[in-house]
Chain A
């Protein structure tokens, strides 16, 4: 019973903590991007202001829509929150260890995506359908690459549990391997595709023919939109944390004590910032790809995954 309570407490703390910092990451990337383009950019905390504003607004829903439309953002948000409990962040074990590991994480995120994509079809707007179709297409294409990258790491640890993977990386003598570079590049491309960043999608655009994720959620407003935005930010932070866990977990705490936890938090934050900088660089130096060029990018990611797996284990 004590174990269960401790796991639940950990899960709640981690979910609340990640929810609290997620908008900061988006704000940070926006700010850095603006600075690189010699603009001033919105304040760092703009994400929070937006969420607070949206949550206070009136709920407006389409006359055509059914309950699926209301469920979509809620399930999307819930899935992202649930996913946070499956990833080790500060301690080398996920709060809900044994609930599902890597495949559980992928499944939960797919559940959220399914709900939002179905909900997007509910208003009858052509934009919703277009976004839904494109989002599902890209996610489907990215899935094998994601799975292959995760498999490479899981095989090294002999387990599909993220905590076990992290702990196996922490064993002294395990250094950075060449195959890790390939697997990391492959998974980074997946991260770009799944979080709707340039060159796959542009989170800042509302130009009708190029939108993917934004088209899908175009009809949402008020609190519904707040949930979608928050969940998207959380998902992005989650993917970055996942990459940190798989490839550079160094510094993560193995015991629950104040000093290691503080160190771990600092290390994690620094690594997230590095990833944020890389994403900003990719976003500012690339142009958005045409939709039908995206499969090529994903194929590259898949190829990197295969080569990584091959040179690691054959």
Chain B
């Protein structure tokens, strides 16, 4: 059915990445050309992969082919672009193309020329590895690509390896990734040996294992994929590693790399191990809600713009996992017609998050580049100095706060609908979880709005708080175009929910036991849920209503003020002079919520007043507030201590005597002979 050329698209994309790598190595002496070739090539390769995804999503037919075959060992690594894979591949394209274009300009300033070739090559390797992860149909190929992806990420995080914190972040990223990969390898090999095959098509049918072994495998897979997805409590590496990388890489990590974990959760945990149990669904629902609420609470108190965005990634990963969990619970209770709403909501939010988080991280990158700082308290007044960056960042902030008619609203609307349906139709006490999670989701989305009023307002409005912000300049056009592209994606995803759901229909019909999500669409502009015709949303209509309201406002002020000029006057400085130091600070902005949720934050406060003459006339007041790193302190520290103690005990075995080691080999040999002989 599918012409031959189509199945060549994915290998062609990989070859294009390889060519870009080769060409950038050849031109490595000329940093500018190296950047253009590597990132331009990467964008082209992503376009090829994206077109493969588009073909699959339009036709509904998977594309299959072989990536690598070795006849002597009979190793064949094949790939299948299923509609689910295609959705993730499309997401990769939506983010990777703007990020690559942005990087051409950005890397010139962010990375010293001598490191350009390394970064360019690693970038291509990373994108290629992620595409392979999304399409490969074989355990060996998957684990290989997964490992390459983890290593490339860590290498990119360590770009600025002179800084101690960066090095630590890269190390933490590596350690956590490998804990995850270890869990994945164990789980995949168990599954493969039970099925007697290495192919995903054989081992992910859902009939391979049953009983408690299935639950154990689920747990292993959850740890393996959850680490990448940044689900709490496996998130601790994420807020360290994402901000440490150059900003365009941060965008890629937050928007795309977490979805590699989520791809695994979908492909394996939810749809690869047979019908989920209620316990699995509720685990996802609970941990998703926990990640969402804690993610946004931590994001709120961050004053480092990139860390704030990284914590917000945890929040959004939480919303995505929460939707998936709701869907799994519904499947477990035999309500696949409801599950499709939750699964569609989850996949929709995934794409939306990629678009707006990519946009926000790239915007943050431009700000960091212009001011050479990351701290909110050093920004301010940037909207006048960087008008376009500010405008696009505002669009991203509105989208991530779930405000109509942008895309965050559409997917959160669908998630709420799913939770509501869950409460209405899921039998038994299980349903009580849904309104609880719904209330938490409402709190999350409202707190996200607070967080992004702060992020946008403190960064872009009022007076500049530092000399660097005072002298900031708008970024070059090459860095603004990608922001514009992502803004358009955010707007389109928000205005055409029906069209998105029609595409998602292809994905859901390909998943075992799920109905067609396109029945939720009402034409390209609207979506509707439920039997009645009235639980419907048309974001464009809301947009039109707001525009109508704006014109009423214009009419009211226009009648009386058509001819009168606007007078500019200084802001009242409360009796003193208005300086940047009298502005409301980022710390102060989130202080009320820090106080309200102090049981969660457990802040420690230090106020120090330095006085020369008398304590009543302090010359300097220092204020420090720190939040307790709950998970590090109460979960990981005991874990690390335990591992260290165990290692200490194991030292007895590792005596350093050759005789002892030879003795171990002998004992092991004997034990093996007895065991094998007994079989």
Of B416, B460, B533, B573, the residue contacting A103 (CB under 8 A) is: B416
Within 1-38 of A, Cβ neighbours of B (below 8 Å) are at: 11-12, 15, 19
Residues on A with C-beta less than 8 A from B401 are 110, 114
Residues on A with C-beta less than 8 A from B588 are 129-130, 133
A selection of 11 A-B contacts at a CB cut-off of 8 Å is A61-B567, A61-B569, A73-B553, A78-B546, A78-B552, A78-B553, A85-B545, A108-B404, A114-B449, A124-B578, A227-B557
Chain B proximity of A97: nearest CB distance (Å): 7
Tell yes or no: B568 within 8 A of A by CB: yes
Contact between B550 and A75 (Cβ–Cβ < 8 Å)? yes
Of B420, B442, B592, the residue contacting A291 (CB under 8 A) is: B592
Contact between B567 and A59 (Cβ–Cβ < 8 Å)? yes
Tell yes or no: B424 within 8 A of A by CB: yes
Scan A67-78; emit 1 where CB is below 8 A from any B CB, else 0.
Answer: 111000111011
6 closest Cβ contacts across the A-B interface? A129-B584, A78-B549, A81-B549, A82-B545, A121-B457, A143-B446
Tell yes or no: A239 within 8 A of B by CB: no
Contact between B403 and A62 (Cβ–Cβ < 8 Å)? no
Of A80, A123, A151, A164, the residue contacting B420 (CB under 8 A) is: A151
Chain A proximity of B248: nearest CB distance (Å): 26
Tell yes or no: B467 within 8 A of A by CB: no
Contact between B564 and A107 (Cβ–Cβ < 8 Å)? no
Given that A82-B546, A144-B442 are known contacts, is A118 also in contact with B537, CB under 8 Å in the complex? no
Residues on B with C-beta less than 8 A from A203 are none
The listed residue with most A CB atoms (<10 A of its CB), out of B403, B456, B461, is: B461
Of B449, B456, B578, the residue contacting A140 (CB under 8 A) is: B449
Residues on B with C-beta less than 8 A from A56 are 560
Contact between B542 and A108 (Cβ–Cβ < 8 Å)? yes
Contact between B552 and A159 (Cβ–Cβ < 8 Å)? no
Tell yes or no: B184 within 8 A of A by CB: no
Contact between A100 and B538 (Cβ–Cβ < 8 Å)? yes
Contact between A59 and B564 (Cβ–Cβ < 8 Å)? yes
Residues on A with C-beta less than 8 A from B450 are 136-137, 140
Contact between B572 and A125 (Cβ–Cβ < 8 Å)? yes
Q: Chain B interface: which size bin?
A: 35 or more
Residues on B with C-beta less than 8 A from A159 are 530, 532, 534-535
Contact between B550 and A64 (Cβ–Cβ < 8 Å)? no
Residues on B with C-beta less than 8 A from A164 are 532, 534-535
Within 413-457 of B, Cβ neighbours of A (below 8 Å) are at: 413, 416-417, 420, 423-424, 432, 435, 438-440, 442-443, 445-447, 449-450, 452-454, 456-457
Chain B proximity of A311: nearest CB distance (Å): 13
Residues on B with C-beta less than 8 A from A243 are none
Given that A148-B435, A159-B535 are known contacts, is A227 also in contact with B447, CB under 8 Å in the complex? no
Contact between A15 and B435 (Cβ–Cβ < 8 Å)? no
Chain A proximity of B289: nearest CB distance (Å): 12
Of B402, B456, B533, B571, the residue contacting A124 (CB under 8 A) is: B571
CA A15 to CA B549, docked complex, whole Å: 9
Of B457, B537, B556, B570, the residue contacting A104 (CB under 8 A) is: B537
Residues on B with C-beta less than 8 A from A110 are 401-403, 446, 449
User: By DSSP majority rule, is chain B's interface helix, strand, loop, or mixed?
Assistant: helix
Residues on A with C-beta less than 8 A from B580 are 124
Contact between B443 and A104 (Cβ–Cβ < 8 Å)? no
Contact between B449 and A100 (Cβ–Cβ < 8 Å)? no
CA A86 to CA B544, docked complex, whole Å: 13
Contact between A64 and B438 (Cβ–Cβ < 8 Å)? no
Tell yes or no: B554 within 8 A of A by CB: yes
Of A77, A124, A134, A302, the residue contacting B463 (CB under 8 A) is: A124
CA A114 to CA B449, docked complex, whole Å: 7
CA A144 to CA B437, docked complex, whole Å: 10
Of A15, A65, A114, the residue contacting B403 (CB under 8 A) is: A114
Given that A59-B567, A60-B567, A159-B530 are known contacts, is A154 also in contact with B589, CB under 8 Å in the complex? no
Tell yes or no: A205 within 8 A of B by CB: no
Given A59-B564, A114-B401; 11 other pairs, CB 8 A cutoff: A55-B560, A58-B567, A63-B568, A82-B546, A101-B536, A107-B542, A126-B582, A139-B449, A159-B535, A291-B592, A310-B432
CA A124 to CA B583, docked complex, whole Å: 5
Contact between B569 and A60 (Cβ–Cβ < 8 Å)? yes
Tell yes or no: A199 within 8 A of B by CB: no
Contact between A81 and B592 (Cβ–Cβ < 8 Å)? no
Contact between B546 and A118 (Cβ–Cβ < 8 Å)? no
CA A182 to CA B438, docked complex, whole Å: 19
Tell yes or no: B462 within 8 A of A by CB: yes
Chain A proximity of B472: nearest CB distance (Å): 14
CA A131 to CA B454, docked complex, whole Å: 12
Residues on A with C-beta less than 8 A from B625 are none
The listed residue with most B CB atoms (<10 A of its CB), out of A60, A97, A129, A130, is: A129
Contact between A107 and B404 (Cβ–Cβ < 8 Å)? yes
Tell yes or no: A249 within 8 A of B by CB: no
CA A152 to CA B470, docked complex, whole Å: 51
Contact between A113 and B542 (Cβ–Cβ < 8 Å)? no
Contact between B584 and A59 (Cβ–Cβ < 8 Å)? no
Residues on A with C-beta less than 8 A from B533 are 98
Contact between B462 and A79 (Cβ–Cβ < 8 Å)? no
User: By DSSP majority rule, is chain A's interface helix, strand, loop, or mixed?
Assistant: helix
Q: Which residue of B lies closest to A99 (CB)?
A: B541
Residues on A with C-beta less than 8 A from B548 are 11-12, 15, 78, 81-82
Residues on A with C-beta less than 8 A from B578 are 64, 124-125
Q: Which residue of A lies closest to B566 (CB)?
A: A59
Contact between B539 and A111 (Cβ–Cβ < 8 Å)? no
Contact between B449 and A113 (Cβ–Cβ < 8 Å)? yes
The listed residue with most A CB atoms (<10 A of its CB), out of B384, B458, B545, B592, is: B545
Contact between B574 and A160 (Cβ–Cβ < 8 Å)? no
Contact between B432 and A314 (Cβ–Cβ < 8 Å)? yes
Residues on A with C-beta less than 8 A from B456 are 118
Tell yes or no: A147 within 8 A of B by CB: yes
Of B432, B453, B542, B590, the residue contacting A114 (CB under 8 A) is: B453
Residues on A with C-beta less than 8 A from B417 are 160
Chain A proximity of B44: nearest CB distance (Å): 38
Residues on A with C-beta less than 8 A from B593 are 137, 140
Chain B proximity of A290: nearest CB distance (Å): 11
Contact between A78 and B550 (Cβ–Cβ < 8 Å)? yes
Q: Which residue of A lies closest to B458 (CB)?
A: A121
Tell yes or no: A184 within 8 A of B by CB: no
The listed residue with most A CB atoms (<10 A of its CB), out of B438, B534, B539, is: B534
Contact between B556 and A147 (Cβ–Cβ < 8 Å)? no
Residues on A with C-beta less than 8 A from B383 are 66-68
Tell yes or no: B596 within 8 A of A by CB: yes
CA A154 to CA B434, docked complex, whole Å: 14
Residues on A with C-beta less than 8 A from B526 are 98
Chain B proximity of A94: nearest CB distance (Å): 10
Scan A284-314; emit 1 where CB is below 8 A from any B CB, else 0.
Answer: 0000000110010000001001100110011
Contact between A140 and B557 (Cβ–Cβ < 8 Å)? no
Tell yes or no: B595 within 8 A of A by CB: yes
Contact between A61 and B457 (Cβ–Cβ < 8 Å)? no
Chain B proximity of A82: nearest CB distance (Å): 4
Contact between A121 and B461 (Cβ–Cβ < 8 Å)? yes
CA A151 to CA B403, docked complex, whole Å: 19
Tell yes or no: A266 within 8 A of B by CB: no
Tell yes or no: A217 within 8 A of B by CB: no
Contact between A62 and B542 (Cβ–Cβ < 8 Å)? no
Contact between B574 and A125 (Cβ–Cβ < 8 Å)? yes
Tell yes or no: B602 within 8 A of A by CB: no
Tell yes or no: B591 within 8 A of A by CB: yes
Residues on B with C-beta less than 8 A from A306 are 435, 439
Tell yes or no: B409 within 8 A of A by CB: yes
Contact between B550 and A122 (Cβ–Cβ < 8 Å)? no
Tell yes or no: A141 within 8 A of B by CB: yes
Contact between B424 and A155 (Cβ–Cβ < 8 Å)? yes
Residues on A with C-beta less than 8 A from B257 are none
Q: Which residue of B lies closest to A294 (CB)?
A: B596
Q: Which residue of B lies closest to A51 (CB)?
A: B556
Contact between B461 and A118 (Cβ–Cβ < 8 Å)? yes
Contact between B404 and A62 (Cβ–Cβ < 8 Å)? no
Contact between B574 and A122 (Cβ–Cβ < 8 Å)? no
Residues on B with C-beta less than 8 A from A145 are 439
